[in-house]
Each structure stands twice: as C-alpha cells, then as structure tokens.
Structure 1
Amino acid sequence: MRSKRFYTTLIFGLIISCSTLIAQSDKQKALEAELQQKRKELKQLNSLLFSNKKEEKSVITLIEDINYKVSVRKNLIRISNKQANLLTREINSNQKEITSLRTQLQELKDDYAAMLVKSYKSKSEQSKMMFLLSSSNFSQAYKRLQYIKQYANYQKEQGEAIKTKTKELQDLNIQLSKQKETKKKLIEENRIEKRKLDKELKDREVLMASIKADMRKFSAQIKKKKQEVDRLDKEINRMIRNAIAASNKKAGKKSSSGKFVLTPEAKKLASNFEANKGKLGWPVSRGVIKGKFGKRRSLTDKSVTQNYKSIYIATEKNSDVKAVFNGVVSEIHIMKRGNPTILVRHGNYFSVYMNLSEVRVKKGDKITTGQVIGKVFTNKIKGETLLGFRIYKNDQVLNPEYWIAKY
C-alpha cells in the first residue's frame, strides 16, 4: 500500500496544475476578447473609411486612413501572436500533464491489481473470521476488524480514483486536440492578416511617393491645419476659463486657480460624471477613433509635431452628435472660417464637441445623456466626416479614450 505522502504529493500537484490551467484560461479569454475588439474595430473602419471607393479623398486623408488601418492590423497581429504563444505553452503543459497522468494511472492500476491479488488469496469469510479469532485479546481483535474495514474502503477508493483519473486523462486529451486545432486556425488567420498588412504598407508607400514631388504644397497645407488647430485650442481654453470665472463670481467666490467652486448640485453632477469614467456613451452612434490624443508627428512632414487635445472620431455622413452625459450647454462657438463647437458642462467637467455642421441646442439648455445636440460636418474636399471630441476637468484637458466605453 502506498504511503500517505505519495497521495498528498499527488493531490498537491493536481491543485497546482489546475490553478495554472485556470490562470492560462483566464489569459486566453482576455486575449480573445481583445482580439475580437480589434477585429470589430477593423470591420468598422473598413466600413466607414474604405467602403465607398467612388468617394474622392485627398492624398493626405488617404495616407492617414491607411496608416490608422495599418496600426489596428499590427495590433491585431500582435494580439494573435500572443494568443498563439500562450496556446503553445498550454499545449506543452497539457502534454506534460498527460504524461504525468498516464504514469499516475499506471501506478494506481498496479497498486489496485496487487490489492486484488492479496484480497483474492484471503477472500473467504472463514479466513477473515480466523484472522479475528486468532487475536490474543479484545483490543487486538477490534484493531483487526477496523483494519479489514479500512482495507475494504481503501480498495473502493482506489477503484474510484482510477475511474476519476481515466476520465481526467480523456478530458485532457480532448482539450489538447481542440487547442491544437485552435492554434492551427489562428496561425492561418495570422498569415492572411500579414498578407493584408503587406499590401497596405505598399499602398502607403505609393501614396507617400506621390506627394514627394510636391512636398512644399502639402507641407504648407499641414502647417496651415496646425495653425487652425492651435487657434481653436486657444479659443476653447479661453471659453473654459471664462466659464469658470463667471460661475465662481455668480457663487460669490473669487478663484484664479482655474478651478470651479462647486455648489452641492454641481458637486453631485461632477461626482456622477467621474463615477462613469470608462463607461460614458460615444458621442456618435457609429465610429472609430482615427485621431489619437497626445503628441503625434505628421506622416507627410516629419518637421511638424502636433499635441492633439482631442480624439477624432470618423463616422458616417449626417451622423447625429449626442451628449455623453447630463449637463448644461455652457457655450456654442463658431470660429471665422470654422465649424461650430459645443461645450457642455458637467459640474467641474466639460465635454467638447467640435466640427459640427449644425447645432440643435442653445446656450443654457439643460441636456440629458444621449440627447442629440447637433450633426457632424462632412468635408467634401477631404471626403471625411470627423468629430473632434474632448474632456476637461476644470481647465485641464484629459484623454477622452479613458472616459468613453470600449466599442
């Protein structure tokens, strides 16, 4: 009969193995969710940016669109590779586990067979009775009776352990087979994605080469666009500072720190807004984030670096713009040779909606989450429909991607 240490070690090993498999399974689920999100994003941008081949776009817009598509596809391939590598580790782990289980199963069977032989040799009730009657005293007879019962129970447990171990081995073999099939499918999908990526990179090279002949003209356009963005930044900052000053003055407070002095009602609204970080609805029904927040160097003119305070969401023509949360329209601004911008206040937070074609609210209006406040402007020359979107806390700009829900 095997020692208790053997079975304790065996059970401990199984617990560790199960914990490892659960951890790996959780990682696979997280990677799969991330992969599906990237596939959805790729499908969205194909639909929004590349579905209408008849639509004329400027070369710079095409380069920007392709570059965004390239970045999403690279991320998709990266996640897919991580998933394949994790699958490889899981397959290797399962193969080792199967080898270990087979060894353990054989040991259990050998142990069980030895018990059966021993049991057969002393199987008669008479033998058991003689074993008890030959005891020198009552205490010994009692111990021998307990031993007979324990031995019978142990035989039964060994039989059940063999059944359990056999089932575990069968399940693991099925799981291993599925993992190998999943990995094979994943590798094939990766090959297809890499071929698409190579084509997109070549398309981008062709477009980049086409503008080199007239780089001066394109550089002038890029610098002009940067100036327009900088001018709008200053105007939005001015409006927010004025809104803070006016609100604090109305409350009978003077503050030059760039922060709101909040009423209890405004404090509650700000708290609710903050509690929804990462869960705010999108300002459009359908879209992809084509322009990221933060510093980015121009694709076509490396001498130009822009610190973007907005995200730019590519969407469909005539898309409605929706408020991301309850609030009050703080300001509506239309720049000279520009499109309307709406500032909505949420306590000491602002959501800002830029590049609109029409406005459906007025200053001072109370609005609710999801309410349509305007429409996105479509640039016919560039062939794109882009909404600029920002979030501020007091006069500090924040990355909106951290606030809106994942699509």
Structure 2
Amino acid sequence: MKKFIPVLLLAFALLPVLAQAQNNQQSREELERKKRELQKEMDEAQAMLRETKKTSKESLGQLRALRNKIDVRSRMIRNINEEINFINGDINTALRDVKTLQKDLDTLKQQYAQLIVAAYKNRSSYAMLNFVFSADSFNDAIKRYQYLKQYREFRRRQADNIIQTQEQLKQKVKNLESQRVKRSETLKTEQSERATLEKDRKEKDEVVAKLKGREKELQQDIEAKKRAQKKVQDAIRLAIRKEIEDARRKAEAEELARKKAAEAERKRKEEERRRAAAAAAEAAKNNASAPVAAATPAPPPPAKEPEREAPAKPARVLNVLEASPEAAALSDNFEANRGRLPWPVESGLILGYFGTQKDADNIKITVVNDGLIFGTRKGAPVKAVFEGTVKRVFSISGAGYVMLLQHGQYFTNYVGIQSPSVKAGDHVRTGQVLGTARTNEDESMGVVEVHIYKGASLQNANNWFKLR
C-alpha cells in the first residue's frame, strides 16, 4: 500500500492543474464562439447601416444602426482584449517551459560530461576485466558485470535525453515565437478596430447634430406614429377581448351541456329505481295472495342504495383560455421560455425596446413602445416565436397586417407584416414563416413589432426574448 501513496499524492497535486487546463480550453472555445457571433453581428450591422444610408436624409433608423454598429464593435474590442490576455498567458507559460527545459538541458549535459570523463579514465578493456574478475565471489562478479551494462545503458539514455530535451526546447522556442507573432497581429487588429470605432462615433455625432436641427419635424412624425399605434392598440385589445369572450361562451356552453347531461343521467337512474321499487311491490303483493307454504319465505333483500360517483378531480383552469389540458400545457411551456424566445427575424437589430424610450444623445424625443421593434432587411421573413394558433389576421392603415397568435392564456402579436402566409385558424410551429416584414420607408429597412399579452394584460417584452 505504501508504494501507492506517492502516486496518489501526485494525482491529487495534478488535479488543480488539469482542472485549470480544462477551464482554459473551455474559455478559449467560448471566446472563439463569441468571436464568430460578433463577426456575424457586425456583418449584419454594416448591412443594415448601408440600407439606412440609402435615404436622402438622416433618420432615427440610421442613428440606431450606427449605435448598434458601435455597440457590436465595442464588444469585438473587448473580445480581442480577452484573446490578447490568453496569448499573454500562453507566452508566459512558454517562457517558463523554455527556462525549465534549458535548466534541465544544462543539468543533463553536466551529468553526461561527468560520465564521459569517468568513461575516459576507465577506457582500458583490461581495467574493465580487472574490475569484474577482482570480485570476491562469482555472484559478486555477475553483479559487477550487470552494473557495467547498466552504466553503459544509463549513459546511452542520458545522451538520448539530451537530444529529446534539445528538440523540445526548439519546439517551445518556435511556439513562443509563434505566440509573439500572433499577439502582434492581434494587437494590430485591436488598434484597427479602435480607429474604426472612433470613425463610427464621429459619424454618429454628425448624424445626431443634423437630427437635432430637425427635432420639430421628427416630433411630428412621432406624433403621427403614436396615432397609428393607438389604432393598433385598440384593435389588438378588441381582438383579445373577443377571443376571451368567445372562450368564455364556449366554456359556458360546454358547462351547460355537461349539466344537462348529468341531469338527464340522474333522471334516468331515478326512473330505474322507481320501476325497480314498483316491480318489487307488485311481486310482494302476488306473494301475499298465494297459499301459505310450510315454511315462511325469507323476506326480499333490501334495495341497494345507488352508488355515489367519486368527485372528479378538478382540472387546472386559471381562466377560460386554459379550459383544456392542451391549452394549459401550452401556457406552461410558453412561461418556461421566458427570456429565451427566439427573434422573429433571422438577422437584424432591435430598433426599440418595450416602455418609454428617451434618446441617449439628448435629442428631445421620447417614444413609448408596446413591444420590441425589430429591424431587418427588406422583404425578410417574419417567423412565429412560439407554437400556437393564428386567431386573427387583419390590416390597419399605416401599419400593414396585424397577426394575433394564441399560446394558451398568452398571445403574441405581430405588427407590420406584409404578404401573410398563414390565415386565422392555422396551427403554426415555432420558427414557421408568418409573412414578410413590412418595409418602413423612414428607416429604409424591414420592421416588425412584437407584443406579448397574458390574457388582456400587456407584458414587458424585454423580459421574454433572448437579447444579445
């Protein structure tokens, strides 16, 4: 058992090192994944900015696209800095390895030199034979011979170790140089990204300055959009109220039919019991009028009381929208995906968040949004963010098509769809295309707004979607 203790101690000592190596590997993979995602976001941001620049004058959409591009580039720079930190760690590790290998190589060379000197002093074959045959016994002679063999083998291994250590040292030095070159290139990339970031910020400041001179015009546009938004709000709430009322009527009709069926069943059983009682009375009357037999017949067994039905287990019904188990399960699944709902567009950016939004660059503009507003390329497909049933598809002047989907007691509402590809009554799956994004001429891009309702209560959409 004692011989295993050093091995166990070595294993425990290596555990933190192995764990750290695994964590570093995972961190590197996560860093590379973020790098790929950020590059994809940057490509999308640049494409969106090119679209917004096609308009004849600056717009809030162009300002949003610039802000999005600046945000993505800032995150890219942070990612590059994390990569530089990893490279610096690799260089420091490589330097330590090179020093250790160099020290080992010097030690091996020194030991090998000592072996060579000893071998030179005892190079005579006569000295070797004299060493063997001067033993006191045959066994001792055998041991001396084996010692000489082991000595020669050890000297050969020392020479091999020197060669291997030299090769390892060369490889470590090569890797070190490679890491230094990589760090130099990454630093150049970081500096280039910072220079581009400054250009983006200057461009954004120029757009802000021009927009500030058009605040009155922009405010008029926003007021017009508010009036259109009010129409959309009223239409959506009316549609949801109708859905709730229809569900309530359906539930009441089903409950009334259930009660009628239960009452009919009760009357049927009551009639059966009455007939059974009448038949028993008639049989007793006939027995009374018949001649008395030698033995008095046993009285008829008492009639059994009707068995009471066990009370049904109450179903989970929070409201009329969850009257069926399927609807309740759909509600639960929808709730379980809070904060993880996918975007309704494949690529793009968020133009507006839920609630009151004040401009970050001191433009005197305040916007109130009922949901999340997504910007995407013109004609891009709009997809369902969760499985459900299409309840309403209707058009509103100035807003395009509005599509209402039900998910148990929840509703998702899509504003700004053109060319709908589904109709009321269709059951759609997550990610299924509902139509295309309506082109917003002011933003020069496709725009769709998504609202979330729980019953008739508007929800904070910021808390439901997977945000970047």
TM bin (shorter chain): 0.7 to 0.9
The residue aligned with 1:90 is: 90
Matched, 1:291 2:351: yes
The change in CA–CA distance for 1:322 and 1:156 in structure 2 (over 3 A counts) is farther
Q: In structure 2, what is the equivalent of residue 4 of structure 1?
A: none
Residue by residue over 1:203-241, the C-alpha shift from the partner in whole angstroms, topping out at 9 and shown as x without a partner, is: 221222223334344345446656766875687577668
CA contact (8 A) 2:343 2:466 kept: no
* Cα distance change of structure 1 residues 325 and 159 upon mapping to structure 2, 3 Å threshold: farther
SS at match of 1:283: coil
1:353 pairs, out of 410, 414, 421, with 414
Identical columns (%):
27
Where do 5+ consecutive residues of structure 1 fail to align? Answer: 1-6
Match of 2:206?
206
Q: TM-score, normalised by structure 2?
A: 0.66
Residue in structure 1 matching 2:425, options 348, 351, 364: 364
Higher CA-based Rg: 2
- Provide the rounded CA distance (Å) in 1 between the counterparts of 2:120 and 2:245: 97
CA distance in 1, matches of 2:320, 2:136: 95
Write the distance in 2 (CA, Å) between the matches of 1:231 and 1:352: 14
Q: Which amino acid aligns with 1:202?
A: K
- Tell me what 1:314 maps to: 375
Query: What is the DSSP-based 3-state SS (H/G/I as helix, E as strand, rest coil) of the residue aligned with 1:355?
Result: strand
CA shift for structure 1 position 366: 1.1
The 3 A distance-change label for structure 1 pair 370 and 60 is: closer
- SS of the residue 1:50 aligns to: helix
1:103 aligns with 2:164: no
Contact 1:314–1:385 (Cα < 8 Å) also in 2:
yes
1:341 aligns to what SS in structure 2?
strand
- Deviation, 1:353, is 2.7
Alignment partner, residue 61 of structure 1: 61
Across the aligned residues of Structure 1 and Structure 2, the Cα RMSD in angstroms comes to: 4.8
Deviations 1:269-291 (A, max 9, x none): 56776888898765334x22233
Q: How far does residue 107 in structure 1 lie from its aligned partner after superposition?
A: 2.2
After superposition, residues 181-220 of structure 1 pair within 5 angstroms as 181-220=181-220
- Return the offset for 1:50: 1.0
Cα deviation per residue 1:292-332 (whole Å; 9 max; x = unaligned)? 64565323556666675644332222222223444321443
TM-score (norm 1): 0.74
1:89 is displaced (CA, Å) by 2.8
Instruction: State the 1:145 CA deviation.
Output: 8.9
Q: What is the CA–CA distance in structure 1 between the aligned matches of 2:17 and 2:78, rounded to whole Å? A: 28
Checking the alignment, whether the CA contact within 8 Å between 1:357 and 1:376 is kept in structure 2 is yes
Measured after TM superposition, the shift of residue 375 of structure 1 is 1.6
| Cα displacement (A) at 1:365 | 0.9
Relative to structure 1, the CA distance from residue 48 to residue 217 in structure 2 (aligned partners, 3 Å threshold; closer, same or farther) is closer
CA contact (8 A) 1:266 1:347 kept: yes
Question: Alpha-carbon deviation of 1:9?
Answer: 11
Structure-to-structure mapping, 1:1-12, within 5 angstroms: none
The whole-number CA distance in structure 2 between the counterparts of 1:200 and 1:289 is 17
Whether 1:49 aligns to 2:49 is yes
Distance 1:330 1:102, change over 3 A: farther
Q: After superposition, give the CA deviation of every residue in 1:153-208 in whole Å (9 maximum; x if it has no partner).
A: 76676566545544443332232222222221212222222222212211221222
Matched residue, 2:33? 33
- Residue identity opposite 1:374 in structure 2: G
Please report how far the alpha carbon of residue 377 of structure 1 lies from its aligned counterpart in structure 2 after TM superposition.
0.7
Give the Å deviation of 1:257.
6.2
Which sits farther off after the overlay, 352-361 or 275-284? 275-284
User: In structure 1, how many angstroms separate the alpha carbons of the residues matched to 2:129 and 2:435?
Assistant: 96
Give me the whole-angstrom Cα distance separating, in 2, the residues matched to 1:374 and 1:356: 6
Label 1:212 to 1:313 Cα distance change in 2 as closer, same or farther (>3 A). closer
Letter in 1 for 2:403: I
Deviation of residue 15 (structure 1)? 8.1
Measured in 2, the distance between the counterparts of 1:335 and 1:260 equals 26
